[in-house]
Amino acid sequence: MRIYAVSDLHADFRENRRLLERISAGEHRGDALIVAGDVADALPLVTDVLGGLRERFAELFFVPGNHELWVRGEPRDSVEKFHAVLAACAGVGVRTAPARVGGAWVVPLFSWYDAAFDVLGEGDHESLEAWSDRYFCRWPPGPPPDRRFLDLNERHLRRYDAPVVSFSHFVPRTELLPPVRWLRFKGLPLVAGSVDIDAQVRRLGAAVHVYGHTHIPDDRVLDGVRYVQNHLRASGSSDGGLLKQVWTDDPTVGGAGPLFC
Ligand SMILES: [Fe+2]
Ligand SMILES: [Fe+2]
């Protein structure tokens, strides 16, 4: 089986919905697709987009990003919305828990960001005044969101009987962020990720980890794990420029394993 990845569909924008229409309706019936968060904030649109993609793939995996957990104008809080998103995914056959697809396991990791990710202390707190999550997410009393979501993953953290492709919405390693001087949004290190995600990636012994959120494409190996971001944009590497293949079982394509392209 081939496994493809994309993130940050942001289907609220018509041009992004048009891009998604370019994904073949027939070419991927034997493939799996990972969607690493940020489809939209309105749940009906999330369900509609994921359900439409589901019909084109043998398996579809998803984790909520920050946009799915916006609750502007809603009485529920972001944790209630999170569980509503998972239920909606189950209703359209979209997986949010580990499953084996061919010769590999795909393991979704729920996550949030932690300001301690800014290990260099370069993040600009003032620029977070315009950060929408501050206004559109609402958290119930209890653990902070990064801890709350990572704790949900614990039951799935074990060694699997085949190579693992894991994925999260948020960034698992600080090396995957460019220097702050290159960033337009100087607050990004404060709201980008958590090193505790990578601790879970390591406990899984993952071969490949897909992430999203920063809209900065990447594909590199760090300490033996391949980290890939392929956010939706018109200039990707395959499928009309949208999807990135991150795994193949096909021994004729350089042997089973992560496909580097
Ligand atoms: Fe995004
Ligand atoms: Fe995001």
Tell me the average confidence (pLDDT) per consecutive run of 10 residues in the chain, 261 residues long.
97 95 93 98 98 97 98 96 98 98 97 96 93 96 97 97 98 96 94 98 98 97 97 72 91 70 52
pLDDT of residue 51: 97
Query: 215: CA distance to ligand 1 center in Å?
Result: 6
Query: 252: CA distance to ligand 2 center in Å?
Result: 36
Spatial CA neighbour of 6 closest among 225, 247, 242? 242
Query: 7: CA distance to ligand 1 center in Å?
Result: 7
Query: 228: CA distance to ligand 1 center in Å?
Result: 15
- What is the residue type of 218? D
Residue 179 DSSP symbol: P
d(CA 125, CA 76): 28
Sequence-distant (6+) residues with CB within 8 A of 117 are 171, 174, 189, 190, 192, 193, 194, 195
Query: 12: CA distance to ligand 2 center in Å?
Result: 14
pLDDT of residue 256: 73
The pTM of the whole model exceeds 0.75: yes
pLDDT of residue 237: 53
Spatial CA neighbour of 55 closest among 26, 84, 96? 26
Ligand nearest, relative to CA of residue 65: 2
Query: 232: CA distance to ligand 2 center in Å?
Result: 12
pLDDT of residue 250: 84
Ligand nearest, relative to CA of residue 188: 2
Query: 9: CA distance to ligand 1 center in Å?
Result: 7
pLDDT of residue 260: 60
d(CA 111, CA 93): 22
CA distances from 215 to 16, 148, 203, 218, 237 (A): 14, 24, 26, 9, 15
pLDDT of residue 94: 98
